[in-house]
Structure 1
Amino acid sequence: MGYKVVVAGATGNVGREMLNILAEREFPVDEIAALASRKSLGTEVSFGDKTLKTKDLDTFDFTGWDIALFAVGSDATKVYAPKAAAAGCVVIDNSSLYRYDPEIPLVVPEVNPEAVEQYKTRNIIANPNCSTAQMVVALKPLHDRARIKRVVVSTYQSVSGAGKAGIDELWDQTKSIYNPTDEVAPKKFTKQIAFNVIPHIDVFLDSGETKEEWKMVAETKKILDKSIKVTATCVRVPVFVGHSEAINLEFEDFLDEDEARDILREAPGVMVVDKRENGGYITPIECVGEYATYISRIRQDSTIDNGLNLWCVSDNLRKGAALNAVQIAETLGNRCLKKG
């Protein structure tokens, strides 16, 4: 027996990826519904070799459905997720709305799979921010071995993290560089993104950090270990898909780079590509469409007693969003909602 599954926000980038990944991973689906806003009603989306017509999220009855994957943003989630949860459907939400609620688990299955069992409190599970998800996958096995004290991370985040509007703006501005009569002013981003980098993602807080940077701190503590100190600088770069991170780690105990490399090679969800030669590392364009979080450039940091540096790359639409949500659904099924 399988599950009755809903994908809300099925016409967006993440919603479409959720449908693709459910099919690719052969998630046990008995029945599936693709939901969208009224303006997208009837739009066709793919699920494996099937074509689904979207239904109206506003009028959909979640009664009798097992799992709902939400990719509709915080405002819509605030309205519809409680309705689905009240109807007995477990919501796995990709927005930021519930991530910091102490009653709602924030889950990366390779890191804290046991947390899914807390879903019963509100019938909702939160999916973390894209930049956090890939980082904690890399940190978890190293933390288990040597205890991480401090993380300093600089991110290089693709425009798809800002949705379709971000992708379109990079595309249009890039074309306009070669045709100056078609100048495209920034709309989605605060400055030109084509051939540029912008050290600003989300709003600025009173502390001087951006909300994206704050998210990485708060979410890493909730998912991995509240005692870890984290500082982040989050940067938007002119890449369509794939987030990259330069991560500096300080441990309580010494961890040799060779041992760290061996640990990461055996870690779930991780692929190590780390050769000290031209091209012996992974870049964002190579991770697109892949499930893994790729780790390269593993090396000792000689400026502190117990330090390591590494480079972390992942498809933000997959591990950073849709894949992690489907993995949560798989973990939920294996641990809590077993059928058959």
Structure 2
Amino acid sequence: MTKLTVAIAAEFELCEKIAEFLEKSELPVEKLSIVEITPFGEEQGVRFNNRAVAQLAVDEVEWSEFNYLLFAGDTAQATHIANAAEAGCVVIDIKGVTANIAGVPVVVPSANDEHLAHIKQRNIVAMPDPQVSQLVLSLSQCIEQYQLTQLFVTSMLPTSYTDGETVSKLAGQTAHLLNGIPLDDGEQRLAFDVFPKSAVNLSAQLQKIYPTVNAVFHAIQAPVFYGMGQKVTALSAYELDPEQIKAQWQGNELLQVEDNLITPVLNGEQESHEESVKLHLSNLSAVENGIEFWSVADEQRFNLALLAVKLLETIEQRIE
């Protein structure tokens, strides 16, 4: 296999997780570099194969030197995607900043890999938002087989879904309130509370993967550090058999069917002691012409880091 040079552009915590999965993969990564689109602290450094990874300022980067860029920035930083792609570097847009651009395929690994045939149009492939990825993986095997017509999804978003700074803010607010210290006037309360979040463009991203499926997304900010939970109702023109769907889930190595309810916190505690991360599915039951279920994944380690590396592996396999 051809040796690869790979750049990661993400905040520190996500860079660490991506590097971890790259190291566990069979990809022949000869050189890994970090592009600091978000400045790291002095004590923050990423290691890969027991070596420190070089950290580059954006204006120092020669994109043509890299085969791949794993990009997890925001819309304001999207010019880096364009610059890398124009230089011949294949960009995996992990957070779906470019997902709604014409000609950019939106791909969830193992669900619609055939859409990678269009990657050379722009040298960019987008993963959808983690809310969409989690939904697609849970239903990819039965959307077409059972002609699902309508999906209703409520996502409970952890603070890590936003960024590492929001995780720190939740920790600080929790400590303050437990010690009887009030929050600043006008400060958005994360600790011990919930509030609605907008779900912009998620239906459009899903329809780039499955054009005939309509979905309604709702999102609630939850006082959880890591791990996203989704309550899903899927409706069909026909009666669905939950046992058949459960059997399909059990045949997918990315999924873990749970006998008991698993929550984001419980999942985090369990996976901290395990080598693998999964999308956990539980509470599957039948409704009229449909099913409902609950799914949980660490959206940082699973939906972003692991799936990005899986997508890179798939692209490399198709090139060969």
- The equivalent of 1:128 in structure 2 is 128
Q: Distance in 2 between matches of 1:186 and 1:70?
A: 33
1:298–1:186 Cα change, 3 Å: farther
Secondary structure of the corresponding residue to residue 54 of structure 1: strand
1:155–1:186 Cα change, 3 Å: farther
Question: Which one of 192, 196, 210 corresponds to residue 189 of structure 2?
Answer: 192
- The equivalent of 2:16 in structure 1 is 16
Where structure 2 has 5 or more consecutive residues not aligned to the other structure, the ranges are none
Q: Distance in 1 between matches of 2:100 and 2:234?
A: 24
1:298–1:309 Cα change, 3 Å: same
- The equivalent of 1:282 in structure 2 is 262
Q: Distance in 2 between matches of 1:256 and 1:95?
A: 34
Listed one character per residue, the Cα deviations across residues 35-66 of structure 1 (whole Å, up to 9, x for unaligned) are 11485498521224222231112221022321
Greater mean alpha carbon deviation, residues 257-266 or residues 44-53:
44-53
1:7 equivalenced with 2:8 (yes/no): yes
1:105 equivalenced with 2:137 (yes/no): no
Which residue type is aligned with residue 73 of structure 1?
D
1:49 equivalenced with 2:34 (yes/no): no
Q: Distance in 2 between matches of 1:95 and 1:29?
A: 22
Listed one character per residue, the Cα deviations across residues 283-302 of structure 1 (whole Å, up to 9, x for unaligned) are 1124335531111000011x
Which residue type is aligned with residue 166 of structure 2?
G
Which residue type is aligned with residue 189 of structure 2?
Q
Greater mean alpha carbon deviation, residues 82-91 or residues 12-21:
12-21
Secondary structure of the corresponding residue to residue 70 of structure 2: strand
Listed one character per residue, the Cα deviations across residues 250-301 of structure 1 (whole Å, up to 9, x for unaligned) are 012222111121121113421111x3xxxx1221124335531111000011
Q: Contact (CA 8 Å) 1:74, 1:96: kept in 2 or not? A: no
Secondary structure of the corresponding residue to residue 115 of structure 2: helix
| Cα deviation, residue 75, structure 1 | 1.5
Q: Contact (CA 8 Å) 1:6, 1:33: kept in 2 or not? A: yes
Identity over the aligned pairs, expressed in percent? 23
Q: Distance in 1 between matches of 2:96 and 2:69?
A: 16
Secondary structure of the corresponding residue to residue 283 of structure 2: strand
Q: Distance in 2 between matches of 1:255 and 1:38?
A: 46
1:308 equivalenced with 2:299 (yes/no): no
Q: Contact (CA 8 Å) 2:32, 2:54: kept in 1 or not? A: no
| Cα deviation, residue 182, structure 1 | 5.5
Q: What are the residue-to-residue correspondences of 1:1-340 with 2, within 5 Å? A: 1-9=2-10, 11-37=11-37, 39-40=39-40, 44-76=45-77, 78-181=78-181, 183=183, 187=187, 191-200=188-197, 210=198, 212=199, 214-223=200-209, 225-273=210-258, 275=259, 280-288=260-268, 289=271, 290-301=276-287, 304=288, 306-336=289-319, 338=320
Q: Distance in 2 between matches of 1:63 and 1:229?
A: 40
